[in-house]
Structure formats: structure tokens, C-alpha cells
């Protein structure tokens, strides 16, 4: 299955003209923020090869990131570890999504959201699309932008906190990350309510 512009075409047929694709990345890691992107593509200049970011090589994602930046209205937003712990990871991911939409240069009039829930606080007309990052090019573009931007955040944090392997595991709970947690302890960027981190804190 390749993503296409059919969801956007249907929205345009209903009279909408600025259609944003929205996706988030980083719900599963033990460390770092959750990141969302909102992307409004120009239907005349859609980059070739858009797909769910998980299905693309790092090199291909990087190339598409540059192309999307050139031709689309893009907004990236985060919800912090503190916000993840204050609310919960689902709510925090929705907060990041709403922020991403609010950060677009020109407000969209319709949103295509990956998943099955419209975030609380989203005031625009919107529809949810399960596996949207593999079905809608606008959501595919958002998934690529969110992934690349969150990876950059984790690379920066890896330099500040060496030893956890964040430059390769991006904060996910790999064996080496869990082992480093046990040896080096918990940083301010770890999600303390996530079970592996919570267990280590509890043991201490």
C-alpha cells in the first residue's frame, strides 16, 4: 500500500483548501519528548516517495525532509517529559499535535490525523485515519518531519548524557539503554512513570 492524495482530494471536493496532515513520534521511548508535525502540502509540488517514516531508510528520510521543507508549510512541536508525566503519554502526544497545528504559518481549514482520536483542543474540522502515515501523503510527510526532528533532539541529548546510546536507540528501551540505566542511573530526560525507569528508581 502506497500513500496517495485521495483523502486530501475528497476534502478539497468538500470545499476545504488548506489540508494539514498530522502525526506524532516518540510515544514508546523511555526518554525524551514526544514530537508532532503538521504539514500542508502544495498539491502541485508533492515530493516523490513519501511514505510512513518507519518504512524509509535514514538516507531517504533525510532527503525527503529537505524536499518537504522547500515546498510545504511545516510546523514541529513537542510535549516535554514533564508534560508526559503530568498528563499521560497519549494526552501529551495530543498536546504536541495541537501545538504543531497552531504553529503553521497559515492556519489550515481541515486536518487529517494519524490514528483514531481527534485531540482534545483541536478546534478545526478534522478526520482520523488509522495507519494514516501509510495512506495519506500529507500524514506521511508529517511522520517524516516528526521523526527527523525528534531524532535531532535525541542526538543533542546524547551529547549531554553519553552512555545511554540515545544517538542510536533514540531513547527507546533497547538492551544497552536498560543496562546503562542500571549502571548510570536516571537522567532528567527519562520518563519516570514508564515501567523500566520506574522499576530502577524503585530499586534505588
Q: DSSP secondary-structure letter at 36?
A: E
Instruction: Evaluate whether 18 touches 143 at the Cβ level (below 8 Å).
Output: no
Residue 6 has pLDDT above 80, yes or no: yes
Residue range 170-197: average pLDDT? 95
pLDDT of residue 186: 95
CB atoms within 10 A of CB 120: 9
pLDDT of residue 150: 98
pLDDT of residue 200: 85
Residue 157 has pLDDT above 80, yes or no: yes
Q: What angle do CA 43, 49, 53 make, to 5 degrees?
A: 105
Give the model's confidence band at 204: pLDDT under 50 very low, under 70 low, under 90 confident, else very high. Answer: low
pLDDT of residue 89: 97
pLDDT in tens, 182-195: 999 999 999 999 98
Q: In whole angstroms, what is the distance from residue 11 CA to residue 19 CA?
A: 8
pLDDT in tens, 14-41: 999 999 999 999 999 999 999 999 999 9
Q: In whole angstroms, what is the distance from residue 73 CA to residue 52 CA?
A: 19
The residue length of the chain stands at: 204
pLDDT in tens, 130-150: 999 999 999 999 999 999 999
Instruction: Evaluate whether 3 touches 51 at the Cβ level (below 8 Å).
Output: yes
Q: Which residues contact 9 (CB under 8 A, 6 or more apart)?
A: none
Cβ burial of 96 (10 Å; 0-12, 13-18, 19+) is buried
pLDDT of residue 202: 80
Residue 203 has pLDDT above 80, yes or no: no
Residue range 42-63: average pLDDT? 96
Q: DSSP secondary-structure letter at 37?
A: E
Give the model's confidence band at 45: pLDDT under 50 very low, under 70 low, under 90 confident, else very high. Answer: very high
Q: Which helix (H) or strand (E) holds 201?
A: helix 195-203
Amino acid at each position: 500500500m502506497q500513500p496517495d492524495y485521495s483523502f486530501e482530494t475528497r476534502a478539497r471536493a468538500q470545499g476545504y483548501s488548506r489540508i494539514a496532515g498530522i502525526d506524532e513520534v516518540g510515544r514508546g521511548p523511555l526518554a525524551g519528548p514526544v514530537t508532532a508535525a503538521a504539514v500542508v502540502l502544495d498539491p502541485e509540488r508533492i515530493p516523490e516517495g513519501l511514505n510512513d517514516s518507519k518504512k524509509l531508510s535514514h538516507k531517504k528520510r533525510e532527503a525527503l525532509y529537505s524536499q518537504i521543507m522547500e515546498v510545504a508549510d511545516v510546523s514541529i512541536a513537542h510535549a516535554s517529559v514533564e508534560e508526559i508525566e503530568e498528563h499521560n503519554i497519549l494526552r501529551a502526544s495530543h498536546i504536541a499535535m495541537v501545538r504543531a497545528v497552531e504553529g503553521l504559518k497559515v492556519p489550515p481549514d481541515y486536518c487529517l490525523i494519524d490514528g483514531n482520536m481527534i485531540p482534545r483542543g483541536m478546534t478545526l474540522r478534522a478526520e482520523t485515519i488509522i495507519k494514516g502515515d501509510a495512506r495519506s501523503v500529507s500524514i506521511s510527510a508529517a511522520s517524516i518531519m516528526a521523526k527527523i526532528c525528534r531524532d535531532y533532539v535525541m542526538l543533542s541529548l546524547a551529547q549531554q548524557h553519553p552512555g545511554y546510546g540515545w544517538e542510536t536507540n533514540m531513547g527507546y528501551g533497547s538492551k544497552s539503554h536498560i543496562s546503562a540505566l542500571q549502571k548510570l542511573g536516571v537522567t532528567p530526560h527519562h520518563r519516570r512513570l514508564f515501567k523500566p525507569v520506574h522499576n530502577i528508581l524503585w530499586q534505588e
